[in-house]
Amino acid sequence: MPTIHVIDADGAEHIIDGDVKASLMENLCDHDLPLDADCGGSCACATCHVWLDPDWAARLPQPGLDELALLEEEPTYQPGRSRLSCQVDFKADLDGLRVTLLPRR
Ligand code: FES
């Protein structure tokens, strides 16, 4: 089963099994990691904002315009690294994906 390496806001690393039928946000929430996803994955809140390791981010399709508009309003936005985790489909070829969670608002 593909894994996701998650660094929480305190710097602790969690390695979770990834469900390839779920988004990255759903995978994180299903493992009770500290991530809000207030709109439930509708690309409307940005509370599921995460940082991907840049090498991994470059392997994913670029954010859509709606996602990018929300991200750019975030004070912690990092171009080339920030994603809304609800907009990232977790696939088997993302085995080993490294994600950093941001402090909750
Ligand atoms: S859960 Fe709201 S934008 Fe991702």
Ligand 1 site-directed mutation target among 38, 71, 99, most atoms within 8 Å of CB: 38
Predicted confidence (pLDDT) at residue 74 exceeds the cutoff of 90: yes
Give the CA distances from residue 21 to residues 2, 25, 49, 63, in Å, rounded to whole numbers and listed in that order.
12, 12, 20, 19
Give the CA distances from residue 70 to residues 44, 59, 75, 81, in Å, rounded to whole numbers and listed in that order.
8, 21, 11, 14
d(CA 5, CA 18): 10
- In this predicted structure, what is the pLDDT of residue 65? 97
- In this predicted structure, what is the pLDDT of residue 104? 77
Q: Is 60 in the pocket of ligand 1 (CB under 6 A)?
A: no
Q: Is 38 in the pocket of ligand 1 (CB under 6 A)?
A: yes
Ordered structural domains, the chain, with CATH: 3-101 (3.10.20.30)
Q: Is 7 in the pocket of ligand 1 (CB under 6 A)?
A: no
Mean pLDDT of the chain: 96
Predicted confidence (pLDDT) at residue 25 exceeds the cutoff of 90: yes
User: How far, in Å, is the centroid of ligand 1 from the Cα of 24?
Assistant: 11
- In this predicted structure, what is the pLDDT of residue 50? 98
